[in-house]
Structure 1
């Protein structure tokens, strides 16, 4: 084209300048026609600058070919998105010559998107990423995504065999002919993941979340979707810089939050958590990830929870993060009560974690106490592991105030300590003496409850009942004697304080008395049993009367 004969300079996004005939371009482009329609005087040396032309110089070159070829151009899946967005931007919906306008022609081409091959869809999607925001506002981007996801849904339902490299016309559902995809299938990759590598090379982070939204809308397999997101993150990390890694990680976290969390592996979430800690992701993304992990904390392991602390902290592990997990676990059921099995599983996990962090000399008492009390008492059947963790914490943190010691010791439910642990506690000089008494009283209550149960059974013995129902089961009488002996032993070794000793001796006397009552009850029940058996034997020996 002779630049001297052209009367219009058109600067496209500061990347390239085109010299064109204003009359020719205006006959097809409404936007340019309006720019010069009201101008008066000389029309030479005109210049137009576009700062946001969709697709840049490459797209405008296609438009100029259309204009200089009397409104004719070959539109195919590779050029349709560019021509459509450019026509939309330049208002090429009506012409002076009366020939078909570019917007109408490109729209007709896009209506055939359902017949495009897989590589053609990928090419169109790649083009759309350079046409934002026009591609999004005009709907072309969403059309490409919906068509692509629809193809994936169909192929996952029909389980197609390995894709062939036939022509576009031979099959609407032809899969990628890329050698990498074919080789991945041949090497044993699951059919459901054949498209992973194709989309990793095409999609920018901006499109990933839109793709996931479309997948959710089309009810695509969410388990496969979550696997793709983790695959995308790992694959793209190989060739990108620090800032791009952060953007990809934030995109993956945002996309995962759109899925049903039952489809997202807990182990993979911890993997991306460790990555995000080094990338300083946005706080909203960090909170979202904590919520996702917390909602399925019962699937985590102790190794998962041993997350290093933030940079600059001198703690061994990030205890604050684990407290957030517990908070989200308790609140993550949508207001519904957490199932008992899950609650107890998390309690065992947290108890193990508390034992792991207790030796940290830099762990504050307030944070340690927050860990111990993070779960309700009903979550634990036994407090032995909590006691031993507190014992370690008190031995390591020798500078605690009396108030801190008291608060920590009060967090134990002494009614849920085993006898062996109570024995250990009564000899533990790290625990204030009053808590040894609390433990003994708890054991005494257990003993009294056993006697109460046996006394209730004795009262239920009556003529006509099977005596065997009232007989103590599982050796409870022996249990009572054992408890009594243990309590007496505890009394002998506990405090030297005279007032306390007098109180404990009183407890010992009550145990001895209870033991006497127990033995008396055993004798009475034995007699009742013999009497009942004798009565039954006598009645069976009597002759039956004739009717």
Structure 2
């Protein structure tokens, strides 16, 4: 370019017959130029060349010698290439030299403004390039509003990209809605930024420009669910990325915290894990208490969406875990939740109380292995969340189990004191069984767990048995009081733990047994128990039926003997007189006083019912032979 300028100067000298009479020094470069072109187009040279032919431009001249050389070519009428990489410095240099319309029409200031407005600011990539170049042009770029125009243009194009139904870019805009099912991590963010998304174009901006872009996005109406990911990804690339450009980390972290949306709106769009990561960095950098409290309050309002993996854990090898800054901070966060969210001003408890309580118990399992935490301190940590919030005590049991494994020196009384808040009725079946067999637990707790386990087993057996009997066997409705099992079909089909809720009410038992191998193991055991009881009752009814048949035969013989011989045989007389007759002709037997006809009807009906149950036994006959054998015909 310097050769081009030299040629223009020589050509100008030959054309006018005047040698270069002006000497301009810019940095370490010296330019010999003609006075008239500079004098006629620049207000700056118009003043400086009045009494002298030598001008020294200041060290902060925008763009330095390279930019002044291009300005000189324009002064001599050259059509030098203007592009996004040099237009900002050219515009600032022209402003410094006062090359405005006041001195000549179509001067450089106007020409460069037209190029900026009609070319650069219409392109996302060109605007980013110009904004990057403006970093070295302060304060000229700010005073000429080049930075502001670029920022507003970027924000406008970002909003238009989201609103554009045709999606001008190939990749859709990234929001945290797509990330809600994932746990936040730096690796996950880096993976997303490998895609061709517009958010990553802003990552290279210095924080001062980036902060202004975020403010413009919000002013122009972009929804927070699109703005917050930009802040999150920028923080990840500058704070948590080891390869990222590091500025003053403390100031950068403070600025990012100021950009984050605080309150319920921020909780909906920013993962809690990200807030925990910022809090961890704040504690390491020993940031002002104002910022750490701000983060703690924000986290406490969104604890129910947190994960134990995101919580602050004391560093390994620390002398006093219970008094560490991480442990103290976690206590403060959960205490804040208890104060402001456990029972707010409207008097309605939060529906997330049980979730937060389980998270706290799960956190205790992470620190319970420290042998330096004594029993009293561990009890204080348990009491931090009210016992009434704990709907499930599984995590609490696990934390206590780990604590007792480490503190083997505790006496039975001390163990009972530490475990006094554990309620076996709120343990799952698996954990309750484990508690029964756990020798580390105090004896009182083992007995309670054993009692609860027996009650659970009895209840489960009863529910499964009732479901089997009354949900699928309508023939029992005649012998079971209707007040006890009203609407038993519809109710038990829904509540049955053993059968899937399908339209099986009109299906035979053989159909229900077709998928028997797919039923839970517990239901199979219940089936075997129920089948055994049915077989026992079947045998008793067979005996009852034979007894009724013998009585009926005896009665017929007695009546026939009366017709043939009025005198009864001695043996038969003794047999019939041994039965106690009632005034109504009833017979008293081992099952009570029952009319013979009623006995026959009752036995026949029960046998018909059990014949349906025989399908049950025959379906299982391939594995286990039936005890009863062949069914007799009903009477």
Residue in 2 that maps onto 1:19: 31
Residue in 1 that maps onto 2:221: 219
Partner of residue 198 from structure 2, selected from 184, 195, 198: 195
Q: Secondary structure at the match of 1:362?
A: coil
- Give the gaps of 5 or more residues in structure 1: 165-187, 437-467, 469-547
Residue 48 of structure 1 and its aligned partner are, at CA, apart by: 3.6
Q: Secondary structure at the match of 2:25?
A: strand
Residue in 1 that maps onto 2:25: 9
- Flag the structure with more relative contact order, 1 or 2, with Cα contacts below 8 A and sequence separation at least 6: 1
Residue in 2 that maps onto 1:99: 105
Residue in 1 that maps onto 2:122: 116
Residue in 1 that maps onto 2:135: 129
Residue in 2 that maps onto 1:160: 166
**Rounded Cα–Cα distance in structure 2 between residues aligned with 1:144 and 1:214:** 11
Q: Deviations over 1:323-347 (max 9, x none)?
A: 34335656888x9779611233212
Question: Is the CA contact 1:358–1:390 (under 8 Å) kept in the aligned structure 2?
Answer: yes
Residue 7 of structure 1 and its aligned partner are, at CA, apart by: 2.7
**Rounded Cα–Cα distance in structure 1 between residues aligned with 2:256 and 2:246:** 15
Question: Is the CA contact 1:87–1:102 (under 8 Å) kept in the aligned structure 2?
Answer: yes
Question: Is the CA contact 1:149–1:215 (under 8 Å) kept in the aligned structure 2?
Answer: yes
Residue 349 of structure 1 and its aligned partner are, at CA, apart by: 0.8
**Rounded Cα–Cα distance in structure 2 between residues aligned with 1:29 and 1:74:** 21
Residue in 2 that maps onto 1:43: 52
C-alpha change, 1:131 and 1:314, in structure 2 (3 Å) is farther
Question: Is the CA contact 1:150–1:218 (under 8 Å) kept in the aligned structure 2?
Answer: yes
1:350 partnered with 2:360: yes
**Rounded Cα–Cα distance in structure 1 between residues aligned with 2:40 and 2:409:** 87
Residue in 1 that maps onto 2:91: 84
* TM-score (normalised: structure 1): 0.53
- Give the gaps of 5 or more residues in structure 2: 10-19, 171-190, 428-434, 446-482, 484-635
Q: Deviations over 1:422-451 (max 9, x none)?
A: xx9xxx9999xxxx9xxxxxxxxxxxxxxx
C-alpha change, 1:304 and 1:221, in structure 2 (3 Å) is same
C-alpha change, 1:208 and 1:366, in structure 2 (3 Å) is farther
Q: CA RMSD in A?
A: 5.5
Residue in 1 that maps onto 2:152: 146
Question: Is the CA contact 2:154–2:213 (under 8 Å) kept in the aligned structure 1?
Answer: no
Q: Secondary structure at the match of 2:352?
A: helix
Residue 103 of structure 1 and its aligned partner are, at CA, apart by: 3.2
**Rounded Cα–Cα distance in structure 2 between residues aligned with 1:324 and 1:26:** 71
**Rounded Cα–Cα distance in structure 1 between residues aligned with 2:141 and 2:163:** 30
Question: Is the CA contact 1:315–1:363 (under 8 Å) kept in the aligned structure 2?
Answer: yes
Residue 140 of structure 1 and its aligned partner are, at CA, apart by: 2.0
Q: Which has the larger radius of gyration?
A: 2
Q: Deviations over 1:147-179 (max 9, x none)?
A: 222222222222435659xxxxxxxxxxxxxxx
Question: Is the CA contact 1:267–1:300 (under 8 Å) kept in the aligned structure 2?
Answer: yes
Residue 49 of structure 1 and its aligned partner are, at CA, apart by: 2.3
Partner of residue 351 from structure 2, selected from 341, 355, 369: 341
Question: Is the CA contact 2:132–2:205 (under 8 Å) kept in the aligned structure 1?
Answer: yes
Question: Is the CA contact 2:202–2:210 (under 8 Å) kept in the aligned structure 1?
Answer: no
Residue in 1 that maps onto 2:370: 360
Q: Deviations over 1:12-54 (max 9, x none)?
A: xxxx5453659555655555666x48x9xx7355534233x44
**Rounded Cα–Cα distance in structure 2 between residues aligned with 1:133 and 1:343:** 54
